[in-house]
Copies of this chain bind each other. A is one copy, B any other.
């Protein structure tokens, strides 16, 4: 009986082209919700191997079972390295998980989440139960706007700015939010003294890190004095993922110091990140280190590099 139960359920599959010649397929329990916005198509699937999965334009954005890895890695390293982060600006992040992680920090007074896609934000607000509390937190302000326009149009500055955006694909909607001039003339001016910028930085595997990771890193080191790349394996992405922190103040804490700050500042314990984990995550493997050291490409308004693959949504 239970065998036949599995039998038919395994008949339905979600299939993603990681690359043109590589597919990653999850057995489905159900297709929970589907929708479309002006910009994107969106679906919430219930998958057998990874739980509920948010899919935008046919690309997995985050899966219930391991989205904590992505979001802890995006949020906690910059906040912990900052002496006392009070306000944060999220570019994108409409899913709500980035805000959720931020709001666990006791020092945080104000989180601005600025996502361009109202429907995606609404969809996630309605269906992602795990972020309901965050969406109701009075410290969170949700703005529907282009992140660039929002940052440039207002005077406020932030302790931490977070890029939770789709990868910089040439011609894609987010490319302009990864350029040298954007970092120099917009992001940097909206960071307070000692402020830290962090961005998701695409796949960072031994082969895939050349797609955008090395280039994001190289672009940021043209603009900021201190730049720290790090990475972690995300099972549902079938790859290592990368992030880059950048600041004009030193970013340097030992594993022990990070552990102390986590205990002091963060409500409840992290599931993925602790001091040693970050220490390992920020020690890249030989090939990746070399590519990053030698990278010469810079994202400018004029040029771009293409990525086919996982992209975080705007």
Residue numbers of A with Cβ under 8 A of B are 1, 4-16, 19-31, 34, 36, 40-43, 45, 47-49, 55-58, 65-66, 69, 205-208, 232-233, 235, 238-240, 270-274, 276-277, 279-281, 283-287, 289
Q: Which residues of B are found within 8 Å of A232, using beta-carbon distances?
A: 285
Asked if A41 and B8 sit within 8 Å, CB to CB, the answer is yes
Q: Which residues of B are found within 8 Å of A281, using beta-carbon distances?
A: 280, 285
Q: How far is the CA of A162 from the CA of B273 in the complex (A)?
A: 32
Q: Tell me which of B4, B273, B286 contacts A286 (CB under 8 A).
A: B273
| Chain B min CB distance to A279 (Å) | 6
Q: How far is the CA of A195 from the CA of B26 in the complex (A)?
A: 44
- In the complex, 19 of the A-B residue pairs with CB atoms within 8 angstroms, ordered by the A residue number, are A1-B36, A5-B36, A7-B58, A11-B14, A11-B16, A11-B43, A12-B31, A13-B15, A21-B26, A21-B27, A24-B24, A24-B25, A25-B25, A29-B31, A30-B31, A66-B207, A207-B235, A272-B286, A276-B283
A contact patch SS? mixed
Asked if A30 and B21 sit within 8 Å, CB to CB, the answer is no
Q: Which residues of B are found within 8 Å of A280, using beta-carbon distances?
A: 280-281, 283-285
The answer to whether A270 and B286 touch (CB under 8 A), given A27-B22, A205-B233, is: yes
Asked if A272 and B206 sit within 8 Å, CB to CB, the answer is yes
Q: How far is the CA of A30 from the CA of B28 in the complex (A)?
A: 10
The answer to whether A23 and B25 touch (CB under 8 A), given A9-B34, A12-B13, is: yes
Q: How far is the CA of A41 from the CA of B4 in the complex (A)?
A: 7
Q: Which residues of B are found within 8 Å of A10, using beta-carbon distances?
A: 20-21, 58
| Chain B min CB distance to A59 (Å) | 8
